[in-house]
A and B are shown apart, each in its own frame.
Chain A
């Protein structure tokens, strides 16, 4: 079985502060991990995936197999980063499992 845990429902920071959105997973094999973002009144969209090892909009995420984590980080938060963030895992099938999401609010 595959499971994704996002322990924080809400994360509130001030502009310029570092941000870390936590994601822990449970899966016995080698998973694909993703972060999706949903801005207000917009559709869910892919932010980044672990296999790409890229930085998108200043966000990075490193897959830590030892800790089974895929935390999303940004060194300096911007107001436009305010959104819902979902961590997702895809195992052997093509079916992703999503976490419940973390609402990030960046205050001016």
Chain B
């Protein structure tokens, strides 16, 4: 257990549904990330939050909307998704230090299937 918890673990949703993924960490980290992992693709960085402020948005479609209400929680709000959005969505956190890079701890992921 790395201390990063994601819920739900599995999610099946229709293209017209609205759902949210949740990530929680109590490691005292102040940077949190959303990654998308598809078959035969690298871990794709979607969003980065540092001290609850979004610092990275890698051209992610607007049907994905992140929210970081505090340094321990990160959400990914989903609406009108497409079947190609089916993937494993991984959350990670790290004790960001500007003067050096540090390890990212991953959650177990949410397996999302869009039907």
Decide whether A and B are members of one complex.
no
Taking Cβ atoms with an 8 Å cutoff, the residues of B that contact A are: none
